[in-house]
Chains A and B, each alone.
Chain A
Amino acid sequence: MFELERELRWWREAMSGAGHAPEILAELEEHLREDVERRARAGTSLPDAWIAARDQIGEPGALRREFARAGRVDLIGTLRAHQWKLLLCVGAGLLTASYFHLVRPATYQSEAKLFLRWSPPQSQPAAGDPVVRDGRRASLLQQEVEIMSSMDLAVRVAENLGAARILGGPGDVAHAAAAVRRGLTVSGAPHSSVVHASFHHPNAELVPIVLSEVLREYLRLRRLIPRESHLALPVEEQISNVSLIQTASPAFFDFNALVRLQIMPVLAGILAGVAWVMVSRSGRRPLRFARHA
């Protein structure tokens, strides 16, 4: 005995198995029902009407391929169709970037250069392997950079200057030390004898003071920590080799801050816009199905 509902159920199962979305199934099922009814009204028996309608709509796999082929929507076309979503997100990104730009306090920066005198130990052959010597030298330089940018040193600076002075208000030494480390940049090129140290902070008066204190503490630590003899750093001479600490000046181009506070929000806006368009495109059918079904 032919049962249309049973046939439809089997058809739905086959279609689901082929990966068709529920909303597409609902639409195609309604199409089938209408086609069967029309054929039956025209005098075709119900089983024949069902077979003709089912064959006319196509095999589940073939239909899935048709949808897949038609679903290759031009990305640019889709974005243009939903351009207001994209514009809204980019606008939000721009607003955020503008906000950060306006509220971000001006940053002041001081710089210093420290010359590390390199004296090859007498025990080593003068015509030694230059690569090995350079590698050792780079490693020693890196060691100095690490000492200068260490937390230990930052804590000493915070203790010496006072946490309140660094933070511009109440606070503990740990936070002040973190602020010192955050603002401090120390670097040394592998084949150079010069360590560059800079400190930036919104408080223009504080900037050279903190940097001077960092250098003073570094030299104090150097005296305490035993060093390899061939990295000659007579402390007194070293102090005179610290270049004049610059008067704090606005760091007018802070690339990291530019990326973090200006470029990232705009990029995030663009990505959010594209994601919104894609999500609304793919999620539209199931959502509507859930609402209407």
Chain B
Amino acid sequence: MRKELVAASAEPLILSLLAEGDSYGYAILQEIRARSREEIQWTDGMLYPVLHRLEDNGWITSRWVEIENGRKRKYYSIRKGGLKALKTQREEWLAVHRVLTSFGGSAHV
């Protein structure tokens, strides 16, 4: 998949995933890889800046949770603003999807 498309889809995908429940960076990466059947391969370094930007936008929030042996993991949760942003972004992506699928015949070219 093209780099630009991967980058553009990062926000709605992260927000969609967090809308299902709290999660943390590594798990988000694994989940997206699995759900996309390895088609979407985010680099690890790409994910965290996006997560922090979403947090700066006030769409998600984070908290540190102790896991084991004093190790801590940063969990992210979606906020009300994030759900709103997700709804908007989802509608945009679906609109593109609708237009693309309307060219049904050319899809087989």
User: B49 on the interface (CB 8 Å rule)?
Assistant: yes
Measured CA separation A65–B52 after assembly (Å): 14
Chain A residues positioned under 8 Å from B45 (CB to CB): 57-58, 62-63, 66
Chain A, Cβ-Cβ closest to B62 = A288
Q: How far is the CB of B8 from chain A (nearest CB, A)?
A: 13
Measured CA separation A118–B59 after assembly (Å): 73
Measured CA separation A13–B5 after assembly (Å): 33
Chain A residues positioned under 8 Å from B25 (CB to CB): 27, 31
Judge whether B53 and A70 touch: CB under 8 Å: yes
Contact partner of A69 (CB less than 8 A), chosen from B26, B49, B73, is B49
Judge whether A31 and B26 touch: CB under 8 Å: yes
Measured CA separation A33–B74 after assembly (Å): 13
Measured CA separation A251–B58 after assembly (Å): 48
List which A257-284 residues lie within 8 A (CB) of chain B: 281
User: B64 on the interface (CB 8 Å rule)?
Assistant: yes
User: A10 on the interface (CB 8 Å rule)?
Assistant: no
Measured CA separation A82–B22 after assembly (Å): 22
User: B57 on the interface (CB 8 Å rule)?
Assistant: yes
Q: How many residues of B contact A (CB 8 A)?
A: 23
Chain A: interface size category: 20 to 34
Chain A residues positioned under 8 Å from B2 (CB to CB): none
Judge whether A66 and B73 touch: CB under 8 Å: no
- Mask, A64-101, CB within 8 Å of B = 1, is 00110111011001100110000000000000000000
Measured CA separation A77–B57 after assembly (Å): 6
Chain A residues positioned under 8 Å from B62 (CB to CB): 288
Measured CA separation A127–B58 after assembly (Å): 75
Chain A, Cβ-Cβ closest to B49 = A70
User: A134 on the interface (CB 8 Å rule)?
Assistant: no
List which B64-97 residues lie within 8 A (CB) of chain A: 64, 71-74, 81
Given the contacts A35-B44, A81-B81, A26 and B50 also touching, CB distance less than 8 Å: no
Judge whether B44 and A293 touch: CB under 8 Å: no
Judge whether B26 and A35 touch: CB under 8 Å: yes
Judge whether B48 and A30 touch: CB under 8 Å: no
Measured CA separation A27–B74 after assembly (Å): 6
Judge whether A27 and B43 touch: CB under 8 Å: no
Chain A, Cβ-Cβ closest to B29 = A31
User: A205 on the interface (CB 8 Å rule)?
Assistant: no
Chain B, Cβ-Cβ closest to A292 = B64
Contact partner of A56 (CB less than 8 A), chosen from B44, B57, B63, is B44
Judge whether B46 and A66 touch: CB under 8 Å: yes
User: A4 on the interface (CB 8 Å rule)?
Assistant: no
Chain B residues positioned under 8 Å from A281 (CB to CB): 56
Judge whether B56 and A71 touch: CB under 8 Å: yes
Judge whether A73 and B72 touch: CB under 8 Å: no
Given the contacts A56-B43, A57-B44, A81-B81, A71 and B72 also touching, CB distance less than 8 Å: no
Judge whether A288 and B81 touch: CB under 8 Å: no
Judge whether B49 and A30 touch: CB under 8 Å: no
Which 3 A-B pairs rank lowest in CB-CB distance, beginning with the nearest? A81-B58, A70-B49, A58-B45
- 8 pairs, CB–CB < 8 Å, chain A vs chain B: A66-B48, A66-B49, A67-B48, A71-B56, A78-B56, A81-B58, A289-B64, A293-B72
Chain A residues at the B interface, C-beta cutoff of 8 Å: 24, 26-28, 30-31, 33-35, 56-58, 62-63, 66-67, 69-71, 73-74, 77-78, 81-82, 281, 285, 288-289, 291-293
